[in-house]
Amino acid sequence: MALRLARSRLLTHILRGKIEALTTFDGVSLPNLIPIWFNSSPANGNDTCRGGSLSNTRNFCSLPHAGSVQANEILTQDDKGSISQVLDFPGGKVAFVAEMRFLAESPKERISCYRVLDDSGQIVSGSRFKEVGKDLARKMYTDMVTLQIMDTIFYEAQRQGRISFYLTSFGEEAINIASAAALSLDDVVLPQYREPGVLLWRGFTLQEFANQCFGNTLDYGKGRQMPIHYGSNRLNYFTVSSPIATQLPHAVGAAYSLKMDKKNACSITYFGDGGTSEGDFHAALNFAAVLEVPVIFFCRNNGWAISTPITDQFKCDGVVIRGQAYGIRSIRVDGNDALAVYSAVHAAREMAVSEGRPILVEALTYRVGHHSTSDDSTKYRPIDEIEHWRIARDPISRYRNWVEGNGWWSDADESELRSNVRKELLQAIQVAERLHKPPLRDLFTDVYDQVPNNLRDQENLLRQTIKKHPADYPSDIPL
Amino acid sequence: MAMALRKLGWGGVLIGRRGFSSTGELESSSSRDGKLVNLFTAVNQALHIALDTDPRSYVFGEDVSFGGVFRCTTGLAHRFGRQRVFNTPLCEQGIAGFAIGLAAMGNRAIAEIQFADYIFPAFDQLVNEAAKFRYRSGNEFNCGGLTIRSPYGAVGHGGHYHSQSPEAFFCHVPGLKVVVIPRSPRQAKGLLLASIRDPNPVVFFEPKASTLKFIFRQLCKIYQCWLYRLAVEEVPDADYMLPLSQAEVIREGKDITVVGWGAQLSILEQACEDAEKEGISCELIDLRTLIPWDKETVEASVSKTGRLLVSHEAPVTGGFGAEISASIIERCFLRLEAPVARICGLDTPFPLVYEPFYMPTKNKSCFRLCTCEREYTSMTKGQYKRTTFHLWILFRQPIRALTEAFVQILDAIKSTVNY
């Protein structure tokens, strides 16, 4: 690496010297000196002029091949007659300038945020968005409400000691449901942990959610992970894992597979603002851009990583700005505006799949709930702030205003929905609670595709101890 | 990072036959069709076959397109295209994470980490993601198609960051089939193909010593002998696999069991030869797979010899030798005639100019083999002469029989008392 850089610096130096002297290059020796960097570009000499915007610039890539580089190819005359110089560097042409100019640490203005609905649920005039029909609109609303009720009830269940842990998505219902609605079921989801709405949208039943949270015998994860670590092969939703941002590179690998299989699908991965500080975020965005894969990086920038505000997390203008540095098309969207999220993800998906490229979406939102049931967020942020986002910026009521305004929803619909969901959830919890836990043997399966000898030995030993001291072990795990 | 090594060029020159043969599974007619090749060529052959036989297999990593800094991926991109064999950005956690995602979609992801010393940025992905992928999802998902290849071990001039043997870290992670370290070209090909096709994530370490022998021969006389031994062997052209989790006895003996893996085996083989001259008969075992490892083969051997020496390049403390030692003591305590010995790397960072001092060399091993064999004598009687020792050799069979009877009685008592 260092060697390469040193070499390129040396060559640049030589090149400059030649240019300044306004002499002609030795057409024979230069190409020998510069095997990779100057005259050749990937495929062939002719189709590499990516820096086409530099007008008046004659460039190296128009030359057929090594051996014919002339100094005047890199001396150009602009409109004012001053001489400028261009370096054809991998990735395109770079202009030389006499002025020493540092890039500003940030653009003068913050990147703007796309929205469709205003705070009262009216369409912002002039906004362009993907039309949402009645059925889709109702289903989106229904699922947003269902998610909210599910969170409320499971949160209570945890408080009553019926489940060990829970984590709500309060305030991020629009992100969950609208982004899911814009995807196809063939799209592969690699979630963080605050996106159960995506799974709900795809058809995970409330009973299935309850089974996981109670870790019973019908939990697909066989009771091995904490509550809210859902996953479903049937619904193309990879099982949640707790480490932050580790799923991002997976999404790139999955997208590469979709691309190779020529599937009409992309992968989408969700993460929070805190996740963008992890190395995996950098790795994934860079890999995705370089390998040109159809993946959507969806950042839920909700302002808080447990107690760390984004001002302690990064200095730059949020997350969206970083896309450009990696060569990734990006958009910032109002995360509490279901229609904006829907439209943005819909467009992102179109571009990702048809052009085989990664897209970064940053949704601005707020984590209205605590980080989890192990957290009390009033210890580190003002209650006023929480209440403001909970009431004035609630994504569900904003969206409801729009749906109602279209005449697609009524108070009667609302009360029927709420009572049905409550009933169904309470029923699901009762069933989940009564089901026994997964059997002991599942402690040892799935470590590998088959149980190896050391695990068999350990299982035998454990069973002997259980026989002698059954009281030491939970009675609801079938032996 | 591999500039220095690149500049030196690659050891394509083949030097003599290896010391030991890897027969066993390969005693078929196909073995006669093979050519003399070295380890990296064998790995290259395996990758060719893997890509050829499964269209859903991919090979990638840093500098892989042009053939890799160890030349293991030579010709692959040309033959299978740059969509299936490609460079990645210089980012190990990205390589591992990407590979997991690719494997989770039902592909065989064969990722290369350029040096095992640089695998640590990928540690989280391997430990927290790859290893638990199947378990945490209740088998809804798995990344069994994942194989991470990485060259490991001393090279003679690698210093801290081109020499380490990090296998023990990965042995502590349930869910990874860890660490198959082939001792020779023929082994490498068969074990790599088996690892690639194994339905579990495998971390596969390759001894770079044998690929770089040429360089070291020039640079470092002290390694000359053992690098010579690992030169070339006949490798069948055919598509074949060697079983994982099966150790192989590569030299039979009756006085002491010697366990090792990878490049260290050639050192051990010479140590065994030297010990033989001292009248000590060594049984040498190539463990081949470290997790899950073949306890039964080692146990059977130690039950026969009564002594065990484990040797690896990694630092002795917390190395995999400790695990072998503990397991064998659990299983063979009453049959052991001497403490289990470990000849390993020192508990220092891998040092450059001190490498010859750091390494578990032939003479270190041989010395330990001899003391280990005579340990019983010195421990119990102190003054015993060699003749007495031979008496012991004469009578130890009946004594062992008695001991075994005693163990059985003990077991019987245990079971009745419901221990």
B116 within domain boundaries: yes
In the stretch 162-201 of chain A, residues with CB closer than 8 A to chain B read 188, 190
Measured over all CA atoms, what is the biggest interatomic distance in chain B, rounded to whole angstroms?
A: 71
Digit-coded pLDDT (tens) for B37-64: 888 899 999 999 999 999 999 999 999 9
Coil/strand/helix, residue A94: strand
B55 touches chain A (CB under 8 A): no
B242 within domain boundaries: no
Digit-coded pLDDT (tens) for A362-397: 999 999 999 999 999 999 999 999 999 999 999 999
Regarding whether A234 and A279 lie in a shared domain, the answer is yes
With residue B312 as reference, give the H or E element that holds it.
strand B308-315
pLDDT exceeds 60 at position B221? no
Report pLDDT for B280.
93
Report whether B328 contacts B302 (CB < 8 A). yes
Regarding whether B197 and B48 lie in a shared domain, the answer is yes
d(CA A306, CA A308): 6
Regarding whether B217 and B110 lie in a shared domain, the answer is yes
Using CA coordinates, name the residue in chain B closest to A233. Answer: B140
B178 touches chain A (CB under 8 A): no
CA distance B23 to chain A (A): 26
Regarding whether A423 and A359 lie in a shared domain, the answer is yes
B243 within domain boundaries: no
B241 within domain boundaries: no
**CATH code of B303's domain:** 3.40.50.920
Bridge partners (DSSP) listed for residue B148: B111, B203
Looking at the structure of chain B, the number of domains it has is: 3
Q: At what angle do helices A411-434 and A134-159 cross, to 10 degrees?
A: 40
A231 touches chain B (CB under 8 A): yes
Q: Report the DSSP pairing between strands B282-286 and B248-251.
A: antiparallel
d(CA A160, CA A138): 33
Regarding whether A427 and A456 lie in a shared domain, the answer is no
Put simply, the answer to whether B140 touches A3 (Cβ < 8 Å) is no
Examine the fold and report which residue of B176, B201, B235 is the final residue of a domain before the chain moves on: B235
Looking at the structure of chain A, the number of domains it has is: 3
Regarding whether A64 and A8 lie in a shared domain, the answer is yes
Between A233, A241, A257, which is nearest B140 by CB? A233
Regarding whether B266 and B191 lie in a shared domain, the answer is no
Q: Which residues of A touch B417 (CB under 8 A)?
A: none
Nearest to B288 by CA among B220, B241, B349, B219: B241
Using CA coordinates, name the residue in chain B closest to A189. Answer: B101
Regarding whether B252 and B217 lie in a shared domain, the answer is no
A286 touches chain B (CB under 8 A): yes
d(CA A163, CA A155): 9
Report whether B90 contacts B102 (CB < 8 A). no
- Least confident window among A13-22, A97-106, A276-285, B20-29: B20-29
Regarding whether A89 and A16 lie in a shared domain, the answer is yes
Regarding whether B32 and B15 lie in a shared domain, the answer is yes
Report whether A95 contacts A54 (CB < 8 A). yes
Tokens of A203: 């058809």
Coil/strand/helix, residue A92: strand
Q: Which residues of B touch A282 (CB under 8 A)?
A: 91
Digit-coded pLDDT (tens) for A274-286: 999 999 999 999 9
Torsions phi, psi for B43 (to 5 deg)? -65, -45
Please report which residue ranges of A388-452 form alpha helices under DSSP H.
395-405, 411-434
Q: Who has greater pLDDT, B12 or B217?
A: B217
Rounded to the nearest 10 degrees, how much is the dihedral formed by the CA atoms of A129, A302, B104, A265?
0
Put simply, the answer to whether B94 touches A452 (Cβ < 8 Å) is no
Report whether B371 contacts B271 (CB < 8 A). no
B128 touches chain A (CB under 8 A): yes
Per the rule left: phi > 0, alpha: psi between -120 and 50, beta: everything else, A312 is alpha
Digit-coded pLDDT (tens) for B80-96: 999 999 999 999 999 99
Q: Which residues of B touch A7 (CB under 8 A)?
A: none
A444 touches chain B (CB under 8 A): no
A161 within domain boundaries: yes
ipTM of the modeled complex? 0.84
Regarding whether A385 and A458 lie in a shared domain, the answer is no
Put simply, the answer to whether B138 touches A454 (Cβ < 8 Å) is no
Between B107, B138, B292, which is nearest A452 by CB? B292
Q: What is the band of B10 on the pLDDT scale with cuts at 50, 70, 90?
A: very low
Based on C-alpha coordinates, what's the Rg of chain B? 22
Q: Which residues of B touch A257 (CB under 8 A)?
A: 101-102, 105-107
Digit-coded pLDDT (tens) for A80-136: 555 568 999 998 999 999 999 999 998 999 999 999 999 999 999 999 999 999 999
Regarding whether B337 and B418 lie in a shared domain, the answer is no
Tokens of B382: 């102190």
B134 touches chain A (CB under 8 A): yes
A468 within domain boundaries: yes
On average, the pLDDT of chain A sits at 87
Torsions phi, psi for A19 (to 5 deg)? -65, -45
Put simply, the answer to whether B128 touches A243 (Cβ < 8 Å) is yes
d(CA A101, CA A113): 29
d(CA B43, CA B56): 19
Number of Cβ within 10 Å of residue B292's Cβ equals 20
Q: Who has greater pLDDT, A59 or A121?
A: A121
A331 within domain boundaries: yes
Regarding whether A91 and A139 lie in a shared domain, the answer is no
Q: Which residues of B touch A446 (CB under 8 A)?
A: 134-135, 138-139
Digit-coded pLDDT (tens) for A30-56: 333 333 333 333 333 333 334 333 333
d(CA A65, CA A45): 6
Q: Taking the alpha carbons of A376, A380, A384, A390 in that order, is the dihedral positive or negative?
A: negative
A227 touches chain B (CB under 8 A): no
Nearest to A165 by CA among A173, A155, A174, A175: A155
Using CA coordinates, name the residue in chain B closest to A279. Answer: B93
B114 touches chain A (CB under 8 A): no
Coil/strand/helix, residue A412: helix
On average, the pLDDT of chain B sits at 85
Put simply, the answer to whether B89 touches A283 (Cβ < 8 Å) is yes
Domain that includes residue A349, residue range: 134-434
Examine the fold and report which residue of A96, A111, A146 is the final residue of a domain before the chain moves on: A96
Regarding whether A368 and A224 lie in a shared domain, the answer is yes
A477 within domain boundaries: no
Domain that includes residue B148, residue range: 3-235
Q: Which residues of A touch B106 (CB under 8 A)?
A: 257
Regarding whether B140 and B65 lie in a shared domain, the answer is yes
d(CA B374, CA B381): 11
Return the active site residues of A.
156, 242, 371-372
Digit-coded pLDDT (tens) for A172-197: 999 999 999 999 999 999 999 999 99
Q: What is the band of B267 on the pLDDT scale with cuts at 50, 70, 90?
A: very high
Regarding whether B84 and B220 lie in a shared domain, the answer is yes
Torsions phi, psi for A295 (to 5 deg)? -135, 140
In the stretch 224-253 of chain B, residues with CB closer than 8 A to chain A read 245
B175 touches chain A (CB under 8 A): yes
- Least confident window among A21-30, A313-322, A324-333, B187-196: A21-30
d(CA A20, CA B278): 77
B87 within domain boundaries: yes
Q: What is the band of A461 on the pLDDT scale with cuts at 50, 70, 90?
A: very high
- Write the DSSP symbol of residue B384: -
Report pLDDT for B400.
82
Determine which of B3, B140, B173, B328 to mutate to test the interface with A (most A C-beta atoms within 10 Å).
Answer: B140
Nearest to B247 by CA among B358, B174, B327: B327
Regarding whether B191 and B83 lie in a shared domain, the answer is yes
Return the active site residues of B.
92, 162
Tokens of B46: 């395996």
Regarding whether A216 and A83 lie in a shared domain, the answer is no
Bridge partners (DSSP) listed for residue B207: B152
Regarding whether B110 and B17 lie in a shared domain, the answer is yes
pLDDT exceeds 50 at position B224? no
Report whether A412 contacts A340 (CB < 8 A). no
Regarding whether A155 and A75 lie in a shared domain, the answer is no
A451 touches chain B (CB under 8 A): no
Using CA coordinates, name the residue in chain B closest to A220. Answer: B138
Examine the fold and report which residue of B235, B267, B285 is the final residue of a domain before the chain moves on: B235
Q: Which residues of A touch B134 (CB under 8 A)?
A: 446-449
Q: What is the band of B388 on the pLDDT scale with cuts at 50, 70, 90?
A: low
pLDDT exceeds 50 at position B18? no
When pLDDT is averaged across residues A330-338 and rounded to a whole number, the result is 98
Regarding whether B167 and B109 lie in a shared domain, the answer is yes
Q: Which residues of B touch A238 (CB under 8 A)?
A: 104, 137, 141
When pLDDT is averaged across residues B249-268 and rounded to a whole number, the result is 94
Q: Which residues of B touch A225 (CB under 8 A)?
A: 136
Report pLDDT for B418.
61
Using CA coordinates, name the residue in chain A closest to B137. Answer: A221
CB proximity list for B299: less than 8 A, separation 6 or greater: B328, B331, B332
Using CA coordinates, name the residue in chain A closest to B96. Answer: A249
Tokens of A28: 């024979």
Angle B395-B398-B399 from CA coordinates, rounded to 5°: 80
Regarding whether B263 and B176 lie in a shared domain, the answer is no
Q: What is the DSSP string of B171-216?
A: HTSTTSEEEE--SSHHHHHHHHHHHHHSSS-EEEEEEHHHHSHHHH
Nearest to B69 by CA among B186, B155, B193, B146: B155
Examine the fold and report which residue of B214, B235, B256 is the final residue of a domain before the chain moves on: B235
Percent of chain B with pLDDT over 70: 81
Regarding whether A375 and A286 lie in a shared domain, the answer is yes
Cα–Cα distances in angstroms (integers) from residue A223 to residues A158, A288, B138, in the given order: 16, 34, 8
Order of strands, edge to edge, in the sheet holding B248-251? B248-251, B282-286, B256-260, B308-315, B341-345
Regarding whether A278 and A165 lie in a shared domain, the answer is yes
